[in-house]
Structure 1
Amino acid sequence: MPTYTIAELAREFDVTARAIRFYEDQGLLSPSREGVGGRSRVYTARDRTRLKLTLRGKRMGLTLSEIKTIVDMYESPKDTVAQMNRFLGALAHQRETLEQQREDIEMALAEIGAHEEECKRLLAEATAP
């Protein structure tokens, strides 16, 4: 089974070692320890997958607790009704959040467009002969 160092994972996923240690503190990763005094972290393929899913969840705008719930479900049997309902609930909540953000962005862009047009109109009037 392949193993990874914190530096290898940081480089592969373009995150800092500090971020990886933070995800470990949050219970998302659980590397084994090796070396003198157990100072070296050794990450397994499981940890790599969990980091990949964590970063994907962050890009989707999920909180770390939501990510942890989903990632933990990923590793458990997927045929329980309670787990599937909880997962669907998390997805529905995130969809609502993202749709509201999209609406807010569209409104902000429309306002910016209106201000740009007004500025262009005023500039044209100010520079007209």
Structure 2
Amino acid sequence: MTDKTYTISDLAREFGVTTRTIRFYEEKGLIHPRREGQKRLYSAADRVRIKLILRGKRIGLSLQESVEVIDMYDPEHNNREQLHSLINTVGEKRARLLRQQRDIEEMLRGLDEVQQLCEQALVDLA
């Protein structure tokens, strides 16, 4: 029985990304397709790695952050270190986003205030 393989088009279609994105991950050494002539054949492990990288991206992790967490995975042992690292990374990301959210809310309040002042000035001019 042979292991299932995927073409670059299969993976691009499945994950809703461009083939260029997948080639970028290959250029960075994050996935390692087998070559048959010009054709790239990706393993199930490559597929999972792409899936995890894209999941990390979706939650706001940088490529480097995602790769660091993924590379900690060790199926031979417990993954306590990987899980702690991911919890810390997610916590830091959450704190940063909450700070940004507060900053945005403050800016919106400032814009509302300026808009109200301008609207009141127009009423006063009438």
Which of residues 8, 25, 28 is equivalent to 1:26? 28
Cα distance, 1:75 vs structure 2: 5.5
- What secondary structure does 2:10 align onto? helix
Q: Normalising by the residue count of structure 1, what TM-score does the alignment of the two structures yield?
A: 0.75
**What's 2:97 paired with?**
98
Cα distance, 1:81 vs structure 2: 4.0
Structure 2: 5+ residue stretches without partners: none
Identity %: 43
**What's 1:13 paired with?**
15
**CA-based RMSD:** 2.4
**What's 1:116 paired with?**
115
Give the whole-Å Cα distance in 2 for the aligned partners of 1:2 and 1:110.
Answer: 55
Q: 1:82 to 1:104 in 2, by over 3 A?
A: same
Structure 1: 5+ residue stretches without partners: none
Number of residues paired by the alignment?
124
Give the whole-Å Cα distance in 1 for the aligned partners of 2:114 and 2:40.
Answer: 53
Cα distance, 1:66 vs structure 2: 0.8
Which stretches of structure 1, 4 residues or more, deviate above 4 A after TM superposition? none
